[in-house]
A = this chain, B = another copy of it.
């Protein structure tokens, strides 16, 4: 990559972000060989400074909240934007947990001596520069920065405009901590301009941004995947299904559906659609309807299920074709009746987003077939889809849940933030 060439091809408006990306790249060469002790020292300094100077952070957040209220932000979003001393304690605790995780960098996965005497090893290295585009959640700023730092990656953070004052303060504090620990402050970069233009520029910083992760709604993710020329990891699109088989334990099935739909409907591992085998549909709905009614879940059912639910005194409306492809993130559930497990598998592979899918059955062979044939990051037997999460999977922390097959699939922990490099020790060999 010829940097001067690149500069000449950009307009003067692009200069700020490009300069920032160049600084990030330069910092990444230092961070990639910094070693675990130095990275952990920087993370400790970050945890300490965020705790010690939380007053500044809270003050910045108060300004964000005032502006958001004035702009008429919805209460649920206002809540996500809000920092409190308790929430900051949780964020700081998250940083300390990341310090305690093993550093994946530098491990040699495999090494062998070839017949010609070359010793060839594959070593874990950082990805380099990671750009993360996210919405108005100030906790993401620190979470993402800490995960990137531990895995030797420089991050370029581009948060939503609603949280810009909070994010700017967190970035200033974290950059101070980096310097205290003897690392370049550009190991953590925040894009100051939160216009759509900078998001678009980030997507095209080929040669500077090694991986771009969009964290947010389906629209953001789709736009970034379509438009970016830098490598992208798609995360967090979740149209998840529960398939209730004819041989399911129906109490278990109702309980799993209730948990998967209602325990936290706004997250990506919540269920959006239930497929019910017709042979057990009536018995199942007798158990499931009272549970779903606790949260007044809106049911959008196909014809057989609609008739059945209404005959049981339940409320439901007819599902449209769009319902099979919609992530509600709300107390809404699509319902489809199937006549055998293969129909469920085919439907899931056609309409799922490759996130998390579950079968409830007591039949061993159907369980195995479902695990084999369903094409998703996490496939469950007799459990709620809500478990798809870095913490629940034992990864310690996660930067997102990948729904693509390239690079990483499912919850992405530190390991998934690495690449590899072949190191080859010779004695003058030629080919």
> Which residues of A line the B interface, CB within 8 A?
1-5, 29, 32-33, 112, 114, 118, 120, 125, 127-128, 206, 210-211, 225-227, 229, 231-233, 249, 252, 255-256, 258-260, 263, 321, 324-325, 349-351, 371-373, 375-384, 386-388, 392-394, 404-407, 409-410, 419-431
Contact = CB atoms under 8 A, between A and B. Distances in A.
Given A372-B33, A384-B430, A392-B114, A405 B210 contact: yes
B351 A2 contact: yes
8 contacts: A2-B324, A2-B325, A29-B373, A256-B428, A259-B430, A260-B430, A382-B429, A383-B426
A210 B373 contact: no
Contacts of A425: 381-383
Copies in the complex: 2
A106 to B, nearest CB: 9
Contacts of A394: 112, 114, 120
B33 A406 contact: no
B421 A377 contact: yes
Nearest to A420: B409
A429 B383 contact: yes
Given A120-B394, A386-B430, A431-B259, A404 B231 contact: yes
List the 8 shortest-distance A-B pairs measured between CB atoms, nearest first: A383-B426, A259-B430, A405-B419, A407-B407, A252-B428, A386-B431, A382-B426, A378-B422
A245 to B, nearest CB: 14
A1 B351 contact: yes
